[in-house]
Structure 1
Amino acid sequence: MPQAVGVIQTLGFPPVLAAADAMVKGGRVTLVYFDLAERSEFVVAIRGPVSEVTLAVAVGIKAAESCYGGNVVSHYIVPNPPENVLAVLPIAYNAKVERFRT
């Protein structure tokens, strides 16, 4: 089954927390990356089947924007990322997230 990567970047911490929570509850996905981007922007990445990631990102965007002061800076979905992308970016399933993998 093709796997996808979905990413949401927000301005501030509360919106990214709301987005991450909504994404893992809104689809059969695994949270694989979370970090501070720059200028108080945060980024969260999920992986899972393409249809589930698409749904989860949509739910995450809605949750982040409905949060007080919520501002989504950017978002994107990469369906079936190639191996060279997985080797370079920190979005692979690792030991920390493997037990939560869906």
Structure 2
Amino acid sequence: MASYEALGLVETFGLVFALEAADAMCKASNVELEGYANVASGYITVLVRGDVGACKAAVDAGVAAVEAMEGANVYSSMVIPRPHQDIEKIIKRYELSSLVAE
């Protein structure tokens, strides 16, 4: 992970809301969809990566998109600027390439 990159996360309940968040996040700024995590019982966290400003804009857009949908809740959102290199071990488990069946 490059030192200038940040990690943006939005957690919601349900695949439809997570997809809406991911779509809004990717369209809002220059971020890369890193993956998602089905945390527990339908809670899904969407992860994006980019520079700090782009991640902040993406997270804000994702939160706004989910909150605009009826019945949706954002349970958590955050941006981690320059995450520690050991965080990469957790991210690898949930990145899109590791979730695709070979």
Q: Secondary structure at the match of 2:76?
A: strand
- Computed over aligned residues only, the root mean square deviation of the Cα atoms, in angstroms, reads 2.1
CA distance in 2, matches of 1:18, 1:95: 17
Q: Are 1:49 and 2:51 counterparts?
A: yes
C-alpha deviation, 1:35, in angstroms? 2.6
> Identity of aligned pairs, percent?
30
Question: Which of 52, 68, 71 is the equivalent residue of 2:70?
Answer: 68
Per-residue displacement from partner, 1:1-40 (whole Å, max 9, x unpaired)?
7110001110122211110000000010001111311121
- Contact kept, 8 Å, 2:35 with 2:96, in 1: the verdict is no
- TM-score, normalization: structure 2? 0.83
Structure 2 unaligned runs (5+)? 98-102
User: 1:1-102 alignment to 2 at 5 Å?
Assistant: 2-86=4-88, 88-90=89-91, 96=97
CA gap 1:31/1:91 in 2 versus in 1, 3 angstroms: farther
Distance 2:10 2:27 in 1: 15
Any conservation in 1 of the 2:6–2:82 contact (CA below 8 Å)?
Answer: yes
Is the alpha carbon distance of 1:14 and 1:83 closer, same or farther for their aligned partners in structure 2, counting shifts above 3 Å? same
Check conservation: 2:11, 2:75, Cα contact below 8 A: yes
Where do 5+ consecutive residues of structure 1 fail to align? 97-102
TM-score w.r.t. structure 1 length?
A: 0.83
State whether residues 30 and 48 of structure 1, in contact with CA within 8 Å, keep that contact through their aligned partners in structure 2.
yes
